[in-house]
Amino acid sequence: MENKFFRKKNGFLKITAIFALLLLIVIYACEKELSDSNSKEEAQAIEKAKAWYEANKPVETLLRSSDGKNKMLVTPEWKDAYTMKTEKYETIETNLMSYGRILFLDQNCVKKFEETQNPNYKQCYTHIVFCINRSTKDTVGFLMTMVPNVEWLEKSKFKPFLEDNYLSRSKKFGGSILYHNLDGSFSNGWRYENGKIVASISSLDVDSAVFELRSTVCIPVTYIVPVQNCTDLYVGTEYNGVELETNIGQYCTTTYTTSTGMECYDNGDGSGGYNPGDGGGPSTTPQVTLNGQTNALLLGQYNYSVSVSNTTFKSLVIIADDQYTMYSGSSQSCYINMKRPGQMKLKAIVNGNYTSNELTVTVQFPDVNTIKNAETVSDAMIAAWAATKAAASPAGMSEKGFWIYTNSSTMVFECGPIMSGPNITGCAGTQGEISPGSTTDSPASTPLSGGKYAVAYFHTHTPLTYCPANNFREVGPSEEDISAFSSFPGLLYDYAGSYLPNLCFVGICGGHNINDPAQIYTIGASRRATP
């Protein structure tokens, strides 16, 4: 007899299996659709980041050591890009490609490496981040560098970067996070212990950005910065008249510098983000940084550059002392002719609205070697030396001299009229003398107008060609010269001389050849004091 119960049960199982299969198909289809949708959204976000980067990138995207001497050109490696989201922000992060590396290493990590020779202690990771405010759609781009400390390296089993990105950190992360603008200038940073912020990093040597700190105690910290430069190596051959090149590897060299940062202990409400202007994430306010040296030379060209983020650069004005327009145009890097010695305070104004940090520049007088090598000065000294020799005779001899000036109206050196000292007869005194007299300075009234400044005094010493052989003198600056030019540069034309063993000095004797070798000696201060 047939068991109808089992027939019904088998039919129920078949129906259940069919429904379960259909449900699995529906779930798979939904997951695939969602996955495809997410992949499409991520691809679109990456393309938007590419477009933003092309529209806003500086002339060069750099990672550089803080002294500015070592620079590494970097470009985004878009094939590695990925996206992350929070309620407020969306980020696109990706690796950087460069020929070589600039690393920032914790001092204790370097010591540990030296003790153990374990290269895992020398880890640092720099990548590029594009952060989008999801409500305002404002975008910023910057470089993010993670510098793990010894404790975090060991806790993470030397895999310190697996859980970290811009929007989240490992709960046990220890070390520093450094942010640089796309042009390589330093923005800001944070120090972590066990996943929590314990200090803000407000500056990194000369590349510090100015922003308000919420801290009370600041101390200097030092990073070790190895800089590795690599060059591709090729072997060239010729086969059937065709030149072939084969890449055989790379040659890399590494140099080491140090970078000092100012670390300020924070009260715990720091954001940990890039350029935290509002204490809660990345700032979208346009940022302008004026970059340049703090010293310049009168008659020199002072080179500067302007870094701009969060806005498209259109125009630039450089203002001195809050009133003088030194430059107005559309170039982010240029130079200013320095026409007035002393201190000058420079600011940059971008697009007519955004003002940079203030840069104090000290304009110094040129040093004595620059003065000596100037063509105008060199020609005048040669002429004065020739006149000194021509004026010498059995009847006497006299020194020649003149003041040397900078004329910042014409941006050249000038020499005053050649003056003659008293005629020395009978070889008395042998060296002669000359009085410099007064200068004719005409100081510039503004950094834009030129002026005239005495920067050195030149004079000659006389030959002993027409003196008896028992006359002699030491060559070079006399004691009187050294005393007179203790605080002002002096230049002297005199014979090179030879060592006189009986007198124990280098000098000349009476009757020597008037055209014996001669040279320029420098005396006293290296440059005139800055007003």
CATH value at residue 324:
2.60.40.10
Q: What total of structural domains would you count in the chain? A: 3
- What Å distances lie between residue 414 and 146, 383, 403, 405, 451, CA to CA? 55, 14, 9, 5, 12
Name residues whose C-beta falls within 8 Å of residue 490's C-beta, 6 or more positions apart in sequence. Answer: 368, 456, 457, 458, 459, 477, 481, 484, 522, 523, 524
Tell me what pLDDT residue 336 has: 92
Kindly calculate the radius of gyration of the chain based on its CA atoms and give it in whole angstroms. Answer: 36
Any domain includes 39: no
Tracing tokens 């002393």 back to the chain, one arrives at 342
Give pLDDT, residue 432.
78
The answer to whether residues 484 and 458 belong to one domain is yes
Rounded Cα–Cα distance for residues 332 and 348 (Å): 10
**Sheet strands (E) in 173-294:** 175-180, 186-193, 196-204, 215-239, 242-266, 287-292
Which tokens is 461 given?
């010493």
Q: Where are the alpha helices (DSSP H) in 173-235?
A: none
88/202: higher pLDDT: 88
Q: 6: burial class by Cβ within 10 Å (0-12, 13-18, 19+)?
A: exposed
State the pLDDT at residue 487: 83
* Domain assignment present for 8: no
**pLDDT of amino acid 52:** 87
Domain with 59 in it: 53-285
**Would the pLDDT of 388 be above 90?**
yes
Residue 239 lies in a domain: yes
Is 70 in a helix, a strand, or coil?
Answer: coil
Domain boundary pick from 261, 285, 309? 285
pLDDT at position 208 is 31
Q: What is the DSSP letter of 157?
A: T
- Judged by average pLDDT, the poorest of 123-132, 201-210, 391-400 is 201-210
3-state secondary structure of 283: coil
Residues 334 and 345 in one domain: yes
> Is residue 7, in this structure, part of any structural domain at all?
no
Q: What is the mean pLDDT of the chain?
A: 80
Q: What is the pLDDT of residue 28?
A: 52
Average pLDDT over residues 182-211: 70
Q: Mean pLDDT over residues 443-452, rounded? A: 91
Based on the fold, state whether residues 195 and 327 are members of the same structural domain: no
Weakest-pLDDT range from 244-248, 420-424, 485-489: 244-248
Confidence class of residue 452 from pLDDT cuts 50, 70 and 90? very high
* Intra-chain end-to-end CA distance of the chain, in Å: 122
Q: Does residue 258 share a domain with residue 322? A: no
Q: How many residues does the chain have?
A: 531
Same domain (yes/no): 270, 324: no
Domain end (from 364, 389, 415): 364
With a cut of 50, say whether residue 383 has pLDDT above it.
Answer: yes
How much is the average pLDDT of 301-329?
A: 91
- Whether the full predicted model's pTM is greater than 0.75, yes or no, is no
